[in-house]
Amino acid sequence: MLAGLSGCRRDAIVPPAGSDTPFGTLRVIIVPEWEGQPLEFYHEYRNVSDYRTTVESLKFYWGDVRLVDGMATMPVSDIELFDFQNGPVTKEWKLPTGVWSGLRTGIGVPSALNHADPATFPSDHPLSVNSLMYWTWASGYKFVLFDGRYDPDPASVVPLVNTYLLQTGMDTCYMEMDLLTLLPITVVKDSITTLRVHMAVDKFFHSNFGTIDLATEHEAHEGNVDLALKLTHNMIQSFSIE
């Protein structure tokens, strides 16, 4: 579900001096899972093709994060980096109070930021050199870093040695998604509203858009746009919110 890009703002909204605008906190927790259970890095799973599979790194950007309700939107953050090496990741933003029907965000870095110089950002910024997500050769950022090992033989018991490197980037791969809730998202004055987002990592390999066959589709880090787009579509369909 596509929408336009917003301005380049990451800091929390700050009310002007003397403003009576009430503010609350929106907390988003993204929980990586495999078939409904907490994802364990380096643990051997079976993917949709029955390949022995591990996940060894998982990082991605959310860009132009907004709360939405029909045509109305509330900017939340221009860019956030999620690194799941230590489990679920939590982000919090201070926002004006209001009622919204969902959360809209892009997978990746919006074009206006994708071609910025990482040296111009503070060390703790998601787009700084310290993020280790900048592709010098492409003058842009990795949007998604999803790496691990696999063996196409389900009966094999030898250590996994084949690697997959599914790393997307380039403006073509930036896609937006809507995360809708059954109940409205209500930001309440001086309170914390928590959204728990489930991310089914096992579904990164398949959706109604297509299946990633690691035997032939295991590298998307210096091109291979078709595979990068397939991964992005699959990721979008892997998210659910409560």
The predicted structure's pLDDT at residue 19: 62
The predicted structure's pLDDT at residue 214: 97
Mean pLDDT per 10-residue interval, the chain, length 242 residues: 33 51 96 98 98 98 96 96 97 97 97 94 96 86 97 96 95 95 94 97 97 96 86 97 85
Radius of gyration for the alpha carbons in the chain, expressed in angstroms and rounded: 19
The predicted structure's pLDDT at residue 203: 98
Tens digit of each residue's pLDDT (9 = 90 or more) over 204-216: 999 999 999 999 9
Tens digit of each residue's pLDDT (9 = 90 or more) over 163-208: 999 999 999 999 999 999 989 999 999 999 999 999 999 999 999 9
Sequential DSSP letters for 195-228: EEEEEEGGGGGEETTEE--TTT--EESSS-HHHH
Query: Contact at 8 Å (CB) between 12 and 94?
Result: yes
First and final CA of the chain: distance in angstroms? 20
The predicted structure's pLDDT at residue 234: 98
Beta bridge partners, 31, equal 198
Show Cβ contacts of residue 83 under 8 Å, excluding neighbours closer than 6 positions.
58, 59, 89
Residue that is written with structure tokens 């799973």 in the block: 45
AA letter at 62: W
pTM above 0.85, yes or no: yes
Percent helix, strand and coil across the chain, each to the nearest 5: 15, 50, 40
